[in-house]
Structure 1
């Protein structure tokens, strides 16, 4: 007798399906697109044939990670049969999709506890620690890359790799604006939003300072389901004051 699949079984199957690199890349692309994606788009993104893309996409559908239907991508209706499109389901996945960095948050909080000064609160120590970590990271990257003077557009481009590596899912909303689609510390942010958002802001501000990207600033701009911080052009007065 076959027993019904449990939530644990479903999670294991999801992780197994995503262990294949092409599927993981396609799933990540579709999840970030925030709209239905065609087979042709998924194939072009990862550089494979449409037939191979269809095979991997159907595996993701079978695992409950994507749902498929026929529709018009981008809302543009065309004559003839509509293409098959894919979009994420609401299935929760307890792996790094979206990326969670609880170990980084835990490390920062531990460092804050160990270094808390007599004149600091725990929250102040945590925000200071996050700023120091960001500053160290920015200084290290600047010393390695030697980017020279960074204007706003080049500064944002330079930031994108680090933000992506740390799970922020950066998305360019214009030449001078970078939105962070994922909070790597979620769902802890929901329990202590002032603390976590403050640490996020301090970490990214410290990173920009270490990188000497004075044309860019991190600002608090919370949106549901996203990081509370976005990066954009620094105020003229701030940029001039920092050199």
Structure 2
């Protein structure tokens, strides 16, 4: 499970010192904990503890369910218990996502055939991961048939959540002001920009966009890929995308 909001929003919930202590207590317990136990540890009322715990649940940091502690069955309503959610929060400004590249490369290693070219396997894995992301978004939204304008709008919203900082520079074009893979691209631009291009192309395919292309268009200080409805392509010198 991941936090429903951004990592920044989830971490903001922990800015409260008492809430942070409660969260630490539950993590260290290594078992489901009741709100009464949390209240006793924090030296506060059960009502106030419940307020803070609900905030932590809403942020995706804790999971809550009704359960009898220790498996002991008692008459009446089961108490609510809390335990840590499977949330791994990382914050960077601008947003960086080396984990996406790591997952793609892991997929490539696990799926490549003997004698297969490593870079080709990585590009295929990137395409597949992008298609899965786009298809998942399409299934969630069920937008029906997409024309170019609707395609750009949905893609823009999805890329905003993935840290690309998209901006509509023309009715037919979206530029990506941030490269979530910048640090890695600076080390191996040809590989990483190729992966990014395949990933975003797969995302468009998964969304089933109509008439929208992912084009390699490296420029200093931007992501190496732009989205266009005119099918135009810029030079594919991936080295340029690693420069500020």
TM-score range, shorter chain: 0.5 to 0.7
Of 114, 129, 135, the match for 2:110: 114
**Distance in 2 (alpha carbons) for counterparts of 1:137 and 1:203:** 9
Structure 1 counterpart SS, 2:125: helix
Matched, 1:151 2:147: yes
**Distance in 1 (alpha carbons) for counterparts of 2:142 and 2:207:** 9
Alpha carbons 1:205, 1:217 under 8 Å: kept: yes
Residue 75 of structure 1 corresponds to none
Residue 132 of structure 1 corresponds to 128
Aligned-residue offset at 1:119: 4.6
Alpha carbons 1:152, 1:232 under 8 Å: kept: no
Q: State how many pairs are aligned.
A: 147
Aligned-residue offset at 1:101: 0.1
Deviation string 1:39-94 (CA, Å, 9 cap, x unpaired) is xxxxxxxxxxxxxxxxxxxxxxxxxxxxxxxxxxxxxxxxxxxxxxxxxxxxxxx9
**Distance in 1 (alpha carbons) for counterparts of 2:148 and 2:210:** 8
- Counterparts in 2 of 1:148 and 1:234: CA distance versus 1, 3 Å: farther
Residue 179 of structure 1 corresponds to 175
Tell me how large the CA RMSD over aligned residues is.
2.1
Alpha carbons 2:172, 2:230 under 8 Å: kept: no
Residue 210 of structure 2 corresponds to 214
Aligned-residue offset at 1:214: 2.3
Residue 55 of structure 2 corresponds to none
Misfit runs of 4+, over 2 Å: none
What residue ranges of structure 1 are gaps of 5+ in the alignment? Answer: 1-15, 22-93, 237-243
* Structure (1 or 2) with the larger CA radius of gyration: 2
TM-score by length of 1: 0.57
Residue 95 of structure 2 corresponds to 99
TM-score by length of 2: 0.56
Aligned-residue offset at 1:116: 1.2
**Distance in 2 (alpha carbons) for counterparts of 1:118 and 1:203:** 23
